[in-house]
Amino acid sequence: RSASHYVKSNKRKAESLQSEIKETEMRLDDVKARMAKLERVLDVFDRMERLHEQAEVDDDRIDGEEDSDVRQASSLIAELSQNFSKEEQSSLRFYSDVVPSLLGPIAERRLKGWKPVVQDGAERSEVIMSDVVGLCSAVASSSPKEDADNEGIWATKRALFVAHILPRVKRALQSSRWDPICNVEEGLA
């Protein structure tokens, strides 16, 4: 009887260990998949950083090169979005935090030298606004249709506006160089 009990006990232990081995292998596969995903994300971030660094070095770029930067950034963001499920994008606040932070340096370069309350600046302001909003449209057009939903694109536009355009306008309106009584037209332009 004790030998049979010993065999049964060891058999249960062996089955339990096999079950634990399978669970550990599944967790290991899951960790490997996460590592591969994070490596792809890191690669995209590295390429985006190189794109921004190159644009900073080539400060006197012409419009065609700027458009190339936008296309490259859009392509990288689309590649990045494909690494995440809808749920992951939502929890990461992909379109309201991640995408605007990646587009921020491009938006800042586009806004460089922009003075919102300068006379005859209305046309330039309109071009700048549409240019920065165009960054979001470029991202939307390069992202898979199921990823680039309207809500996400609006979140990106809002974040870029709040982080880059609004502070410039606010500083210009609070500037001591602009007199709202004498220069009403400039402030309304």
Range with the poorest average pLDDT among 72-76, 115-119, 171-175: 115-119
Looking at the predicted structure, is the pLDDT value of residue 42 above 90?
yes
Residues 6+ away with beta carbon under 8 Å from 134 = 70
Average pLDDT value over all residues in the chain: 82
The more confident residue out of 124 and 52 is 52
Please tell me the predicted confidence (pLDDT) of residue 174: 79
pLDDT for res 68: 82
pLDDT by residue (tens digit) across 149-167? 678 888 888 999 899 888 9
Which residues have a Cβ under 8 Å from the Cβ of 80 and sit 6 or more positions away? 41, 44, 45, 98, 102
Least confident of 10-19, 29-38, 41-50, 105-114: 105-114
Interval 110-116 mean pLDDT: 81
Tell whether the model's pLDDT for residue 189 goes beyond 50.
no
Q: How confident is the model at residue 92 (pLDDT cuts 50, 70, 90)?
A: very high
For residue 188, what pLDDT is reported? 47
Q: Report CA 174 to chain centroid distance, whole Å.
A: 30
Q: How far is CA 182 from the centre of its chain?
A: 42
Instruction: Answer yes or no: are the C-beta atoms of 186 and 118 closer than 8 Å.
Output: yes
Q: What percent of the chain has pLDDT over 90?
A: 37
Angle at 164 between CA 98 and CA 76, to 5 degrees: 35
Is pTM, for the whole model, over 0.85? no
**Among 10-14, 70-74, 147-151, which range has the highest average pLDDT?**
10-14
